[in-house]
Amino acid sequence: MKVFSTGFLVIVHIIIFLIWLTQWEWLVTLPGMIVWGSATIGGVLYFAILYRQELRGIKHPMQKTMLFISTGGMLALVFLSLVIEGIQHSMP
């Protein structure tokens, strides 16, 4: 079950990245931010669950690494999009 959940979240993150490559303006609208935010928060929460299980002795190194990288990528895209949006709004 955990491999399916990790794979699902990573696939969602990849799809959002592909949307960002083609139409990043859609992701800074309200529906886009809801989708983007829920995927990022889901990744962070699921990473926390995997980390807590690892503290108890249940190892998930591959799932944790994949989820950490994809969630970090989502946070980087959020930051980059907000910077681009800020630059566009500051230009006359």
- Nearest Cα neighbor of 5 from 54, 70, 55 is 70
Paired tokens of 85: 């949006």
Residues lower than pLDDT 50 in the chain: none
Q: How many domains does the chain have?
A: 1
Within a domain: 10: no
Is 13 a domain residue? no
Q: What is the pLDDT at residue 69?
A: 82
- Is residue 19 in a domain? no
**6-27 tens-digit pLDDT:** 777 778 888 888 887 787 777 7
Could you tell me the residue range of the domain that residue 45 belongs to? 37-86
The pLDDT score that the predictor gives to residue 3 is 56
65 part of a folded domain: yes
pLDDT value of position 62: 73
| Cα three-residue angle 13-64-52, rounded to 5 degrees | 120
Specify the pTM: 0.63
User: Which pLDDT does position 18 carry in this prediction?
Assistant: 82
